[in-house]
Amino acid sequence: MNMRIRRVTIISFFIGATLIFAASYFELFFPPKNAFYLGILGDILLAGIKSLGLALITSTLVNILKNWMEPTETLVKNDFINRLTKCEMKELKSKIEWELYFRDNNHDKDNFYNFFEQELSTLLNDCYYKYYRTKIECKICENYITKTIRKKFEIINPSKKEAIITIPFGAEMQKVDSIDINKLYTIKKFTVESSDYTKEINDSLIINENCIESNDAYCIDVHTSWNVKVKKSQVIDMIIETVVPLNDVCFSNKITKPCKEYNLIFILNDPSYQLSWHSFGFMGNHKDMLIEEPMDNGLEFGFKDWILPGDGVVISINKNENI
């Protein structure tokens, strides 16, 4: 942008000077008594050329002074930023960041600010959750625990291009005596806006058992996924039922995209058990923004502002020693 301004300024100045000198040349060498004298119309034409040259020089000087003295607020209001190319914007941004953050520091280019700036800038054009709400109803049975998990969230696409978002389903699970492995993880509902895909998603559900060969207690792998096209926004609603042994007492809920409004409710039907919880990621470092509301039979958990991919909460079910 600065190069273009300099170029236009120099060209305007030289055109203006050339016009004035050309008009003066004709007046000097072709006076009224000369055979090539053009008369009154010629005088008017030469006067107009002089005036045009003077106007160009004057406007150039005014613009130089204006750009030199003009405050940043005025430049922004006059759409100065919009006249910059993308490379010029990045260069301006880099200079402003250096003035704001690095003038008095000894940071090199390979610093954590540049790392996070690059990571966050990639998220700006990606989809995010306008809200993400989860409700878990947990029941303690004789030899297992059942959880009914309802998730409802709205995906927003800030880009002008249609996005394809993959909605994952699945878990690593343990065997439960007297329960068929196909009953350990069941998708009871899956809708995208008003379209119901419950049957289709269950038909695609894959359950692999590797308990004989594996020493890992979590030897059952459950997984599938569903691709959703998002032009502007899509609301996803799902209900999942799981069955786990009594020793599988932890539940984790992790966000995969930036989220503007996060809320989780965990309800436990058995007073002989109690809950403990721990937030992790960005939420874990901003306790003042957390909403933690213990209830008689559970917990409501939320966050007052944006959270980042990887943030979430772990809830543990423990025997109530006070009973």
| Contact assessment for residue 249 and residue 317, using Cβ atoms and an 8 Å cutoff | yes
Are 226 and 303 part of one and the same domain?
A: yes
Are 89 and 179 part of one and the same domain?
A: no
For the chain, the domain total comes to 2
Please give the pLDDT value at position 279.
82
Are 241 and 146 part of one and the same domain?
A: yes
- 109 occurs within a structural domain: no
The confidence band for 323, taking pLDDT boundaries of 50, 70 and 90, is low
Residues forming a β-bridge with 266: 136, 299
Q: 37-68, pLDDT tens digit by residue?
A: 556 666 677 677 777 777 777 777 676 666 65
Are 89 and 230 part of one and the same domain?
A: no
Are 37 and 157 part of one and the same domain?
A: no
CATH of the domain at 217: 2.60.40
Q: What is the pTM of this model?
A: 0.70
- How many whole angstroms from its chain centre is CA 148? 31
Torsional sign, CA 63, 68, 69, 75: positive
Calpha distance 112→116 (Å, rounded): 6
Q: Is the pLDDT of residue 35 over 50?
A: no
> β-strands 262-268, 128-140: how paired?
parallel
Are 279 and 192 part of one and the same domain?
A: yes
| Contact assessment for residue 272 and residue 321, using Cβ atoms and an 8 Å cutoff | no
Number of H helices, E strands in the chain: 6, 14
Are 46 and 144 part of one and the same domain?
A: no
| Contact assessment for residue 263 and residue 134, using Cβ atoms and an 8 Å cutoff | yes
Q: 125-134, pLDDT tens digit by residue?
A: 899 999 999 9
Calpha distance 20→54 (Å, rounded): 7
Q: Is the pLDDT of residue 283 over 80?
A: no
Please give the pLDDT value at position 67.
62
> Amino acid letter at 182?
N
Calpha distance 157→163 (Å, rounded): 7
Q: What residue numbers bound the domain in which 32 lies?
A: 2-99
**Lowest-pLDDT range of 32-36, 98-102, 202-206, 239-243:** 32-36
Q: Is the pLDDT of residue 74 over 70?
A: no
Domain end marker among 99, 114, 145: 99
